[in-house]
Amino acid sequence: MDRERRSAIAPVAAVVVLGLVAAGCGGGGGGGNAAPVVNAGADLAALVGIALNLDATATDDGSPSGTLTTTWSRVSGPGNVLFGNAAAVDTTATFDAMGVYVLRLTANDGSASSVDDVTVTVGMAIDNTDAAFSVVEGTWDLSPTTDGNGCWGADFAYAYSTPPDPLARARFTLDLATVALYDISVYWSAAENRTAAQPIIVHDSSGTDHTYYVSLRRNGNEWFPLATLTLGPGSYIEFTTQTPSEGYCNADAVRLMPAGA
């Protein structure tokens, strides 16, 4: 009853409203539809397999329809991108390969479209729980993050060293298909009972070993920048117990970020 009447009246009311809007913002006799305004956000960094938050904006003058449709898409990049909801302005993006990606947010008001791009540099974290981690020599035990000192992921591998104990080695195999420059960072669980000189050996693309020593007594629970090196097929990062400083040696996680792209 009421429903019938409303459906009969509604189209008329809509026409009247549209007429008023057109008259109100017209003035120039051209209809005056402004294109949507889109901002895809500032450039970002992400890690393979970990959802990245996209924070964008898309606005419109409400003409001609009041409906603004938005779509995220991948313009370029070495791998696939999975959007949490490609139609949402703010959503997530998950990448399946390292490299530099360009993502595009398109907004359409039914008549005009606008786009804006965001560049995302995607790196890779390798945890000691990943298949790319292996014990090469000696004994490494696992400690959970519940020891109160934190770590990357669920746990970390450790070996106690009293110099000159027998050598133990644990390796993160990088499994890179091509040669490129990377910023290398390392994560660890810091505490006073750790070694003050954890040896970390980076095997670069030319087969050269670069050895670094970091103190595991500070700078815990953050990505500590270790070096920028050219890496490729056959490259790996090893943690050893060949330390001049007594204490626990840790192998927790490593991270590569494409550099100089």
Residue whose C-alpha is closest to residue 40's, from 109, 93, 112, 94:
93
Instruction: Verify binding: residue 116, Ca ion, rule CB under 5 A.
Output: no
Residue 40 or 99: the one with the smaller Cβ distance to Ca ion is 40
Q: Tell me: does residue 72 bind Ca ion (CB under 5 A).
A: no
Residue 2 Cβ vs Ca ion, minimum distance, rounded to whole Å:
34
153 touches Ca ion (CB under 5 A)? yes
Is position 156 an interface residue for Ca ion (rule: CB under 5 A)?
yes
Residue 55 binds Ca ion, judged by CB under 5 A: yes
Measuring CA to CA, which residue among 85, 106, 115, 101 is closest to residue 45?
A: 101
What gap in Å lies between CA 254 and CA 172, rounded to an integer? Answer: 8
Q: How far is CA 119 from CA 45, 72, 157, in A?
A: 8, 13, 35
Residue selected from 38, 60, 126, 256 as contacting Ca ion according to rule CB under 5 A: 60
Distance CA 223, CA 216 (A): 13
Answer for which of 116, 127, 183, 204 binds Ca ion (CB under 5 A) is 127
Residue 158 makes contact with Ca ion by CB under 5 A? no
CA-nearest of 91, 89, 108 to 39 is 89
* Shortest CB 89 distance to Ca ion, Å: 6
Please choose, from the candidates 150, 126, 138, the residue with its C-alpha nearest in 3D space to the C-alpha of residue 202: 126
Distance CA 188, CA 26 (A): 63
Q: How far is the CB of 65 from Ca ion (least distance, A)?
A: 8
What CA–CA distance (Å, rounded) separates 153 from 148? Answer: 13
Alpha-carbon gap, residue 168 to 160, rounded angstroms: 10
Binding mask 230-259 for Ca ion (x = CB under 5 A): ----------------------xx------
Q: Which stretch binds Ca ion (CB under 5 A): 9-17, 25-33, 195-203, 214-222?
A: 25-33
What is the distance between the alpha carbons of residues 259 and 46, in angstroms, rounded to a whole number? 13
Least CB distance from residue 32 to Ca ion, whole Å? 9
> Judged by CB under 5 A, which stretch of 30-38, 118-126, 174-182, 229-237 contacts Ca ion?
30-38
Comparing CB distances to Ca ion, the nearer of 114 and 205 is 114
- Residue 157 CB, shortest distance to Ca ion, in Å, is 8
The residues binding Ca ion (CB under 5 A) are 33-34, 55, 60-61, 63, 90, 109, 127-128, 151-153, 156, 252-253
